[in-house]
Structure 1
Amino acid sequence: MSEVFLDSELQAKDYRRIAKALDISGYSLAELRSILEDEVAPAFASNLCSVAGEWAGWRENDVQTIMFQSLSRRRFRLLSWLKRVMRRRHIEQEWEKIAQFLEQG
């Protein structure tokens, strides 16, 4: 799910691949949405505000490291109102694209 926070436009094939991976994860749609909002977004949403952004993606080990760092710092960090609004809007848009493919099976 971290890919939706890259500074590049994902294509239908990307959303289909993400949806396939999520589908075999065994989590429900509600659980997946919660993971995106509560765990992945706090760790990767700041990439959207970056001037340069990350174009190449992250290696799996990097994703794990970023997630663990984010979760350990999260209680000490407050997001500004603007970042929360931007993140919420981005999550809504990206989740709709992923959910289409999840619903198709």
Structure 2
Amino acid sequence: MMKESGRKQLWIALSNFYLDTELQNYQYLHIADVCKEIQCSFEEAKEIDRTEVFPVLYKNLLSVAGVWDGFDEEWLVACCSKNQGKKDQPFFKFKNYIKLLIAGGHFKENWKSFDQIVNPK
């Protein structure tokens, strides 16, 4: 089981996916490094992103002038922690499903890019 401090590190690293900037290779590699450091598989990180981080930050993807320089870490951790506790609730799952319909393309593209950079063929 992942330590809470490791999960917080992962939430903060994954929040880079939602900044209003084009991610650079080093940012993807940083996420991979955090996963390795906290012993979290990439699949587990993707699930944590989908259920704990994405629901908090997806609106930044839809904004004309979104946050580009980083999210407030205290706020982010508090919101992701709430989602961690609710992610198995049916209504939460339904709302997240709708959010993924709206902005899920970006989520998929980030993980596709992550895989291409971290696991080059």
Q: Which string of whole-angstrom CA distances, capped at 9 and with x for unpartnered residues, describes residues 56-99 of structure 1? A: 10243232023245567886673685x42343211111112223
Figure out how many residues of one structure are paired with residues of the other and give that number. 103
Is contact 2:52-2:81 (8 Å) kept?
no
Find out whether 1:36 has 2:49 as its counterpart: yes
SS of residue in 1 equivalent to 2:110: helix
* Cα RMSD for the two superposed structures: 2.5
Find out whether 1:91 has 2:107 as its counterpart: yes
The verdict on how the C-alpha distance between 1:64 and 1:22 changes in structure 2, with shifts beyond 3 A counting, is same
Is contact 2:53-2:80 (8 Å) kept?
yes
Q: Which has the higher contact order (CA 8 A, sep 6+)?
A: 1
The verdict on how the C-alpha distance between 1:68 and 1:9 changes in structure 2, with shifts beyond 3 A counting, is same
TM-score by length of 1: 0.76
Q: Structure 1 regions of 5+ residues with no counterpart?
A: none
Comparing 88-97 with 70-79, greater Cα deviation is found at 70-79
TM-score by length of 2: 0.67
Q: CA deviation at 1:51?
A: 2.2
1:5 counterpart letter in structure 2: Y
SS of residue in 2 equivalent to 1:45: helix
Q: CA deviation at 1:47?
A: 1.0
Q: Structure 2 regions of 5+ residues with no counterpart?
A: 1-13
Is contact 1:19-1:99 (8 Å) kept?
no
